[in-house]
Structure formats: C-alpha cells, structure tokens
Structure 1
Amino acid sequence: MGDRGAEHAAPTEVEEITSRISDLSKWREIFSFPGLEINSTAHQPGQSSAGHGPAGAGQSPGSQPPCSIPQPLLLPLGGRPISLDTAMRLQQLLFRNTTPLFGWEWAAAHFSFHPPHSDLAYALQAGKGGTRAILAAVQAHIITYLLFTRDTEFTHLERLCRVGRWEQRQALATALAGTLWAAGGGGRAVVCLSTAPVTTVPREGYGASSFTDRIWLFEFSEKAAAQGFISDHINCFESKGSHGVILYLFSLLFSRTLERVQEDLGDTAPLLNASSGNITCTEAVLSLLLTGRASPRGLGGHREPEPGTAHGDAGEPGQRGPVGFLRWERAPRERQVSAGEPRASRTHRRPARLSPGPGECPLAQVSPALRSPRLPVWLCSLSGRHSVLFGTDSRLLSDWKSERIFHLYFCSGQQEQTRTAHLTVDTHSHHWEEAPREEPCSPGRRRPALEMAIRTKWAGATVSWNGTDPFF
C-alpha cells in the first residue's frame, strides 16, 4: 500500500514543478518587452523594474505597424525620457514646424551590412530617399576604422572583404560613437534609444509620429563608455523596424545639444527639407556628420573654427578630419535631362563636362580641409546622390610623391553595384595633349560626375576605371 501511495505522489510533484516552470515562462515573456525588463545586475533600491520606460510607453495596438516576435531590449538605468517640450523643440529644428513629417521610408531605415566575407562585406546597404546621405557618411567612417584603425593581418582592400559579422557590428559601433563624440565637442555623447518593441519593416503610409515620445536619452562623458553602450545595444540601430537612422540622427542632435544646433542653423534654415513627400538632408546635416557642427555653410569653409572646441574625430572647418568631402553638381539643363531619362538608363548616367559650366563652380566648391582630410576617405555628393570614395594608402595625402599615380576605390551604395569599383588616378598626364584639336572645355568632352569631383581635388587628373563601365 505504501509503495502504491508513493507511486501516485510522484506524478503529482512532477506536475507541480511543470506548472511552476510554465508560469515562469509566461512571466518571462511578459517582461521581455522593451521597457519592462528586470535588470538584476543594476537594480537600484526604490526603483521598480518596470519603471525604465516613460509614461504611456505602452501604446494602443493601432498606433504601430504589426509586430513580429519582439526582440528584448534591456534599457539600463541612468537614462531619462524625452519631455514633450523637448520633443517639440526637436521637431522645430528638423522641419521648422511641430507637425511630424517622418514617413515610412525614414521609419524603415536602419544600418544593415552586405553579407560578411563578401566583396562588399564592409558596405552598408543603401536606404531609400533622404536617408542615403546619412548612411553614406557613416559608411565613410566605417571604412576609416576598418582600413586605418583596427589591427588585422590582412592588407589593402582584402581588409574590407574579409570582414565578419562581429567586425561589422564593431565597426558600426565605432563609427556611430566617433561621430557622436565629435558632435559633442570631444567632451560628451548622447545616445537615444526607444522603448518601443522592435517591429517588422513599417509599411508604406506609416508615419513615425508616435515614435519620438518613446525616446530615452543616455549621456556619457567618456567616449569609450559611449562606444561600449552602443555596442551592447547595436540591435537598436541595425534591426529592421528599429528606426535606427532616426535614432542616430536624434543622438547627433542631442550630443551637440539642441541649443547649439539652433545657433549653428540660425533663424530660418531647417535641418531637413520636406518637398512633395520626400525628406532630404540639408548641408547642415552633412556638416554635423563630418565636422561636428550643423553649419549650413560648414562644408564650404565660410566659418572660422569654433573657439575652445576640443579636437574630435571629425574636423571643424579649417581643420583636417579623418573623412573628407567632394562634390560635383550638374548644370541645371543637365539635371533636367537626367530627370526625364528612363529609369533603366540612369544606372550609367551621361558624363559631366570636363570643365565646369556656368553656375557649376560655386556648387563644386568645398573647404580645402575637407578636400584634403587626414586619411584618404571622402563622402561624395554627385548631383545630389551620396557615395564614398577612398584609398588604402594612409600616406596618400601626406606625401606628395604618392600623389603622382595612385589607386582609389568607389562604393556607390546602390543595389546595382556588386563589387568595389577600382580607379587609377594619374595627376601628371595631360589629357588635352591626346586630342590637341579639341578644346578641354568643349561640350563634346564629357566625363562622369565622379571624375569631375576627383578633379576638384586633383585638377587636370585623368581617371581610369580599369575595365569597369563608368557610372555616376
């Protein structure tokens, strides 16, 4: 009898243990949502585990696009929510109005690499619309880190093609932290995270209007701490539906502080242009990414360096930063013709003239410090489309003998490009001697816009595409 009782008791204990495990799993799912996690390693007395998110962080299901399986986001202690007043000031800086204008393309934009260990393993996949300028600028900083900062046994372009998944994430964290630190004047960085759960890619028609009020700010007084924090939360910038590009743009503005950004901009200019449903970055945003200041004329070098500002990773106007800037714009008539071309013919656009036409010279002017950065990496603006040009020889811009014949590489960020374009630049050849009967300024002598941008740095240089069909 006793043995039979024991046999009946054993299953009862097992069922009780199974029930408790099931209950524990349910609670774990509940607290896995962002802003509701229990941080057992950093919990402070008097602060509830569910208090990391701002009031109202749990929005009604209709305020967001449909969710996929949520990915946990552990918001650490020490952050602060964005206030309504701050959110309105931020909106004013961005658009000069308080009506949220971010559309689904911006909401869907995030930092995503090409497959590891591939020809474009180092390259970010280009987003749509106006986010491409930000992605290209971050791409330039990623290349700078991968080529000239990290330790690796590989050399030259192989260093970029051998990049693995861990190195991709490390390069992104380094690039984001470096630009935030420069925006903070070399003394601070602010990282923005959201308490909203990670969702699928927002669909067309979705707006990010309900996104700003779920932002939390995390401030750091040491660059290494900011970089470590971003590395720990890199999913917040590279996951689909994370609003990663918007989070990064907000982080730049808060690192600089909204007050100083306002001083940089002046009274009228917004940070973003909104026209016909398209939102594009102004020159002030590019200036913030490259120089640490949101000056509308910062890329042209019209302003003096800000007094008392520490040297950050990006250079102030008049100072040589690690990443430069080259620009070339077509004449108005050429832009109108290009706009009317069929989509299929735009991949290989008609080359620009060898010499600038009326109205092109001022658009092509860039400050000398940005044309000659410390390292051979340039963000390029070619008729409004952004890309990256770089070299692998760190001495290129510091040793004049290296600038006779040298190699550059070009990453357009476009889907059509499957491998890095290789260019050879010769600064001592005289192209006009090859056809003495044709004037260098002849309308018939046309070159790709990329070559024209290169000539704003090396006047008269010839560019060989080494078998690749010229584009841009």
Structure 2
Amino acid sequence: MEVLDQEHSSQVLDLEEITKEILFLEKWRGIFSYHGLGTSNTTPQNYEGNHISADETEDGTGIPQPKGQGHLPSSSLCSIPKPSIISSKLGGLPISLAMATKLRQSLFGNTVQVFSSDWRKAYFRFHDPSSDLAFALDMGKGGARSIQMAVQGSVIRYLLFTTKGRDRNFGSLRAVSKQEQERALAAALTGILWAAGTAEKATVCLFSEDASVTSTPDYSGDGFTERLQLFEFLEKEATEKFIYDHLQCFQGEGSHGVILFLYSLIFSRTFEKLQEDLDVTTTQLLQPSAGGFLCRQAVLNLILTGRASPHVFNGCEEGESQEIFHGVLARSDVGYLQWGKDASSEDDRLSQVGSMLKTPKVPVWLCNINGNYSILFCTNKQLLSDWKMERLFDLYFYSGQPTQRKPVHLTIDTHAHHWERDQHEDKHGPGRRFSPVEMAIKTKWREATINWNGTVPFY
C-alpha cells in the first residue's frame, strides 16, 4: 500500500511539473522578434534544410550540409533564456575521435593538453544595455581575452557601419538595447565564420547532452569537446539565423562560449586550409604561457581577415633558408595596430604591421599594446577614404579593463605645428613623453598630436 502511495505521489509531481512547463510556454507564445515569422515550427529538428543525416553530404566531410534557403523558424528568438546545451537530436554531426584529435593538434600541437580554467570560463557577455558601454563586451582574463576583443571590433563595425537606419555617432552606441546587442553579436560571429569559410560555407559548433568520443591513451578528454555537434551552412543568412537562435550557447555563463566560437572558426576554415595558411614559424594556434595559453597571431588574423596568416606584414616574404613566411594578403574589415613587446611574438622582424591591417575598410582597429588587447574606433567611415578627414578627427579607445566606465575620447591632429607637438610632449616629462596608447596610434599617424580631452593618459 505504501508503494502505491509513493507511485501516486510521483505521478502527481510529474503532472505538476508538466503543467508548469505548459503554462510557461503559453505565457511566451506569440512573442517573436525576427523577420516577423511565427511559431508554426517549434522543434529544433524542423530547421529547414538543416536536419540531414550524416551520410547526406556533398563534399565528403561528413558534415550535414543544408540544402534549403536558410529560412529558419524564429520561435527561439524571444527573450526566454535558452540552455547552453542542445539536444543530440537537433541534427548536427557528432564529433569523431579523428576530428577531436585534429582539433587538439591544431590548437596545442598534441592531444593531451586541455584548455586552462580562464579559457573554460570565457564567454561573450555585454555590459548593461543603454549605458556608456552598451556596445562593449565585458572582457575576461587570460588568453581568451584577445578573441573577445577581436570579436568586439566586429561588433562595433556592425553597430556603426552595417545597421540600417542607425545614426553613425557615438551616442547611438550608448543607446544600444539588449536585442540590438544580441543581433550585433550574432552578426559579428557569423561574419567572422563566413569569411573563414571563404564566403561559401560556415560551420557552427554547439555542445550536446551526449558524448560521442571517449578518452583513449592518445587522447585526453576535457568533458565538453567530446560532446561537440557540428552544423554546416551554405548560406550566410541561415548561419546568422542559427547562431541567433542558439546565442545562449555563446553568451551564457558556463557555456565555454569563446572555446565554442574558436572551434567553429577552425571547422569553418577546415584543417586543410588551416595548414595552407600557416608556415614553419607557426605549427599550432595556441602558445603555452604562465599556466595558460595565449593566442598566436594566426588566430587573430583568422578573425580579422578570414585567413590564419601567422604574420602581420603585407604579402609573403622569403627567409634566409628560402622558407616562405605568410603575411596578410588583402585589406581587412577591422584593422590591427601593435606597439611594444608581445609575449606571443617570437620574431620582431616579422611583427611589423603592414598597410593591409593598418588601413582597414572601416575605421576600427584591434590594438595589441605590450601584449594587452584593446579597441580603437572612429564613428566617421570616411576617415580612411578621404584624406581631408585625417587632418583632425576623433577616436574612441576601449581597453576592456574593469576600471573603465566609458570609452576614452581622443582627438587626433595630424597637421599640428611643431611647437604644438613639443608642448604636448613636455607634459609627460623626460623619458615618458608618450603613453603606449599614443605610440600605437603613431604607428598609423606618425606626426599626430593626441589630445586626451581631460582623461589622464594610460601608461
């Protein structure tokens, strides 16, 4: 009799939980925010052109390839928080031991090293909407920070120079809403992955509830890579829609969001193209440092240019032993400036930034200043296309440091008289005339006079 009572009580609890779930879903029914689509398709398996068995491929990679037009249902685009773990039935290709082994070798050069704790904790999180830093990602610590800052550059590019109907000024960045933050992040991640896939395809990696790989004597599991599911898309719009639908997988606490993006970046580029991009100076993408790992330049160039070039100069150069060093082959959307010693750079001769990165398509730069990453940007898109705009202009600097409450406003004068430059230099005293931030700017505008507009210069 007691057993029957327990079974009855369990059934009542199950019914109560089911009822709560139904009421919760009903509460949010009808809330949509993407292209005005409805909720007629609510199961993940119904993504048009995405639910394809692993043997239905066109390029022999084994990754499911969507054949539709990328019109994905939008039921998951409302504000209900989504889990960072997806169902194994969503339709992706489970990672194999061979894939996991290649992934580990590409990152670490071996199959036994795993990500440090600072990498596992890193994800993409914005500052509060409608604030001075509404456009900015909250940066973490360690080697993953350089990836977050590189993605930050693409987020700013989207908000300033891609979004239609938005005034291109600094005030618009402070007015960014939560929904705009999410759209900007989805667009930024998509654009980077699509460029890595040579504008032909992109692969999005998500973590599922079930593992498809087990540890072996030659492969050390980390508890999450073994649960990777791969989704390949042949259209950029479909990629962005899918990422937006699963954005919590990249921006949720505990999601390993930065690692997930890095995995997606590598699979989008493919192992074969990755090896073609690299050269004798770089055989793996991460470099051990102080118990963690730093990104090599190839990772940052892959984010900025779509190619994992190991160096920042223009084109290719031949070494003394006739080896070929690979630099940047085309102008990037987001640029790159560098000043000071970088712990991930082993050869100063190969670290001179070329014009391809110094003069990007839009005035946004990822800055490497003594190994610390930050962002410089201008709200005037014509800055780099009209020489008259480079006479006197404003730049904004975001360091990502916890103490920074708003971007620093800098005024750059490239035609100041020599006595004005001398007067400015004297303010900093002998031996420390310019801050590293100013020196980074001067790698692009050599004769620039920089006004910090009341902010104490960063040293």
What whole-Å deviation, never above 9, does each CA across 1:312-368 have from its counterpart, x for those lacking one? xxxx93422221000001599xxxxxxxxxxxxxxxxxxxxxxxxxx9984762120
Q: Secondary structure at the match of 1:467?
A: coil
Q: CA deviation at 1:85?
A: 1.0
How much has 1:433 moved relative to structure 2?
A: 6.3
In structure 2, distance between residues paired with 1:392 and 1:433 = 26
2:106 counterpart (93, 99, 102): 93
Deviations 1:170-214 (A, max 9, x none): 0000000000000001111000000149xxxxxxxxx98121110
**1:398 deviation in Å?**
0.3
How far has the Cα of 1:231 moved from its partner?
A: 0.3
Q: CA deviation at 1:294?
A: 1.0
Contact 2:393 2:411 in 1 (8 A): yes
Aligned to 1:249: 262
1:217 match: secondary structure: strand
Q: What amino acid is the match of 2:175? A: R
Residue in structure 2 matched with residue 399 of structure 1 by the alignment: 386
Residue 81 (1) aligns with residue 99 (2): no
- Are 1:289 and 2:306 an aligned pair? no
SS of the residue 1:219 aligns to: strand
Structure 1 range deviating more: 165-174 or 452-461: 452-461
Q: Output the CA distance in 1 between the equivalents of 2:332 and 2:84.
A: 37
Q: What's 2:32 paired with?
A: none
Cα distance 1:257–1:405, how it changes in 2: closer, same or farther (>3 A)? same
In structure 1, which of residues 244, 255, 271 is the aligned counterpart of residue 285 of structure 2? 271
CA distance change for structure 1 residues 225 and 434 in 2, over 3 Å: closer, same or farther? Answer: closer
Partner of 1:34: none
Whether 1:458 and 2:458 are equivalent positions in the alignment is no
Q: Partners in 2 of 1:330 and 1:372 — Cα distance?
A: 22
| Length-normalised TM-score, structure 1 | 0.73
Matches within 5 A, 1:296-315: 296-297=310-311, 299-303=312-316
1:2-58: CA deviations, max 9, x gaps?
Answer: xxxxxxxxxxxxx9x968834746999xxxxxxxx97574699999xxxxxxxxxxx
- Cα offsets for 1:266-325 (capped at 9, x unmatched): 45521000133121100111110111111212x222439xxxxxxxxxxx9342222100
Check conservation: 2:143, 2:292, Cα contact below 8 A.
Answer: yes
CA contact (8 A) 1:119 1:418 kept: yes
Q: 1:169 to 1:42 in 2, by over 3 A?
A: closer
Unaligned runs of 5+ in 1: 1-14, 29-36, 48-68, 198-206, 305-315, 333-358
2:138 aligned to 125, 131, 143, which one? 125
Are 1:380 and 2:360 an aligned pair? no
Q: Percent identity?
A: 48
Which letter does structure 1 place at the counterpart of 2:370? S
* Change beyond 3 A, Cα 1:19–1:97: closer
- Paired letter, 2:363: P
Q: Between Structure 1 and Structure 2, how many residues are aligned?
A: 379
> Are positions 1:227 and 2:214 aligned together?
no
The match for 1:427 is: 414
Larger Rg: 1
Partner of 1:32: none
Give the SS at the match of 1:469. Answer: coil
Taking the aligned partners of 1:118 and 1:185, their CA distance within structure 2 comes to 36
Answer whether contact 1:136 1:387 (CA < 8 A) is retained: yes
Paired with 2:51 and 2:363, the residues of 1 have a C-alpha distance of 51
Q: 1:165-204 counterparts in 2 under 5 A?
A: 165-196=178-209
The alpha-carbon deviation at position 244 of structure 1 amounts to 0.3
AA at the equivalent of 1:373 = P
Q: Is the Cα contact below 8 Å between 2:376 and 2:395 reproduced in 1? A: yes
TM-score w.r.t. the length of structure 2 is 0.75
Question: What is the CA-CA distance between 1:465 and the residue it aligns to?
Answer: 0.5
Residue aligned with 2:384, SS: coil
The reply to whether residue 103 of structure 1 matches residue 116 of structure 2 is yes
> Is 1:21 aligned to residue 8 of structure 2?
no
In 2, distance between residues paired with 1:257 and 1:71?
A: 24
Partner amino acid, structure 2, of 1:88: T
CA RMSD between the two structures: 3.4
Aligned to 1:467: 454
SS at match of 2:376: strand
Question: Which of 131, 144, 153 is the equivalent residue of 1:140?
Answer: 153
- 2:305·2:333 contact (CA, 8 Å) conserved in 1? no
